[in-house]
Structure 1
Amino acid sequence: MTPEPESARTNKSAEQLRSEVRRCLGRAKGLPLLWRLRALALFGLAYLKLGPPGRRKPPKSLLAGVLLVTAALAVSPAVWNRLRFDRCLIEQPSMARQLFRPAEDCSVCEGVRRIEKLSSVDPWLFEERYAYSGRPVVVSDATANWTAAGAFSFDFLRELYRGGRAAECQFFPYRTGFRSLEDFFNMSASRALLRTGSEPWYVGWSNCDEAIGDVLRRHYDRPYFLPATAETEKTDWIFMGSPGYGAPMHVDDVEYPSWQAQIRGRKKWILEPPRECHYSCDRLEVVVEPGEIIVLDTNKWYHQTLIVSEDVSITIGAEYD
């Protein structure tokens, strides 16, 4: 069989990228102006790289200024930090994060064959081995004195967010079809109660309401194993879902490592190393039980979750520096 010419493979690759850019631009229609600017920024990068179909690439001298602005808009976290009022309001485009993410040092995953489960962890030991090394760990006795397990439920959280109080917070609908947190809490009773035949669901959101944060923190404490010098971010992250559902494989774009406490249900975590470490690091799995906390640098590890209990899963967590 005659191998395909290199030029043909290049043309195919170029056309696939152009097709993807067109699709993204099409999906950007009707979105707020800032999101359309982001899509156009990514289109600009592809245009400079490939040129329009059937034409020569544009001269660099003509578009040098466009390249600088486009690159800054597409990939610079500093630009986005200045454009947003609160870090939970605007997220950098996923395509830009994936394409321009800097290479990771594979020392974060080399030699890690399993995710350890520990108890009675000394904060000094935690800081030395896990806090900033990128090595994932589960602490099994981390929520022993919390009241969250008895308080947190779908009804409790729905009442807490009544009246659309989370309108300015970041919401992750995943594959559920919900348009907002308010939409999620307005789902039918049969679906919320996981009755037979109802659709599964899994969502996540950040809490940007200080008063709600005060209520949530009445039921959980700062994890005892965190180093004394570590500050826990004020933004709570909450994830809820029904059995058999979860988040697809992805990597985050947040500032710090994070901890996530399993309040109810059981959740399997599947971790994959950074792409550049694929051949030197292992894929890891662990089931986090109720009352356990997983500590993970989600900026470095690709991660996927799956609820493996018969009960609703509720997780709360935060970043720490």
Structure 2
Amino acid sequence: MQTSMYVHHEKIFICNLATNLRGAYGDFTRVVKQLYNVHTNQWFLHWENCQKDGAKAARQFYRRPYFISNSLDLTGSNWVLMSSDFRGRVYKKIDPSETLMMLYQIRGFNHIRLSPRDACRDNCPELLTTLNEGEILVVENLLWIMEYIPGEEGDNLGIISEVSWPSME
């Protein structure tokens, strides 16, 4: 992914940054610069593009799936999940603001855990899967909590698009 588009674009605002890279807590520019260091290995990184400019930049890496109605709004925030040879055991939680999200697995794979929220707890089992390159997972956030562990081998890239339902006004 072209991370340089974030380093050189000062208007882009990210939030919910999480990484295992040391010394970079909350400083996205420092994190991205560490990724260019040849000695940086076994890392994960995810963030939310909270501002429209950042979300628009990330949308160049995916298209609206054919099965998603044009009446749904995909222009809100999105998340980027990146890793390289990371061997994690703890799931990383994604906390979206919209009611529906789509995870596009662009490269590599991610291990996914969907845990039922209170509304579904008595009727829904926990679901575990691996999302492979080229696959899309659609999650209804009122029923499920989504967490992931980055794939252990090679480079991984996933993008989550938050989807808004049309306004009934």
TM-score, scaled relative to structure 2: 0.76
Once the two structures are superposed, what CA deviation does each residue of 1:113-157 show, in whole Å capped at 9, x if it has no partner? Answer: xxxxxxxxxxxxxxxxxxxxxxxxxxxxxxxxxxxxxxx3xxx22
Long gaps (5+) in structure 1: 1-151
Write 1 or 2 for the structure with the bigger share of helix.
1
2:38 to 168, 181, 189: 189
User: Cα offset for 1:247?
Assistant: 6.8
Verify the 8 A CA contact 1:254 1:299 in the aligned structure 2: no
- Cα–Cα, structure 1 residues 236 and 247, in superposed 2: closer, same or farther, change >3 Å? farther
- Cα–Cα, structure 1 residues 319 and 201, in superposed 2: closer, same or farther, change >3 Å? closer
Match of 1:168 in 2: 13
| SS at structure 2 position matched to 1:189 | coil
- Cα–Cα, structure 1 residues 185 and 304, in superposed 2: closer, same or farther, change >3 Å? same
Letter in 1 for 2:43: P
- Cα–Cα, structure 1 residues 174 and 248, in superposed 2: closer, same or farther, change >3 Å? farther
Does 1 or 2 have the higher relative contact order (CA < 8 Å, sep 6+)? 2
Once the two structures are superposed, what CA deviation does each residue of 1:194-245 show, in whole Å capped at 9, x if it has no partner? Answer: 3xxxx533322315252x5555444432221102321213323211123323
1:239 to 62, 78, 81: 81
1:229 to 71, 86, 98: 71
- Cα–Cα, structure 1 residues 270 and 215, in superposed 2: closer, same or farther, change >3 Å? closer
User: Cα offset for 1:288?
Assistant: 0.7
Once the two structures are superposed, what CA deviation does each residue of 1:45-74 show, in whole Å capped at 9, x if it has no partner? Answer: xxxxxxxxxxxxxxxxxxxxxxxxxxxxxx
Between the two proteins, the alignment pairs up a number of residues equal to 159
Structure 2 CA distance for aligned equivalents of residues 219 and 252 of structure 1: 21
Long gaps (5+) in structure 2: none
- Cα–Cα, structure 1 residues 236 and 304, in superposed 2: closer, same or farther, change >3 Å? closer
Match of 2:137 in 1: 294
Letter in 2 for 1:290: E
Match of 1:310 in 2: 153
Verify the 8 A CA contact 1:269 1:287 in the aligned structure 2: yes
Match of 1:260 in 2: 103
User: Cα offset for 1:309?
Assistant: 4.3
- Cα–Cα, structure 1 residues 173 and 215, in superposed 2: closer, same or farther, change >3 Å? closer
| Larger Rg belongs to | 1
Is 1:280 aligned to 2:127, yes or no? no
Match of 1:208 in 2: 51
- Cα–Cα, structure 1 residues 247 and 298, in superposed 2: closer, same or farther, change >3 Å? farther
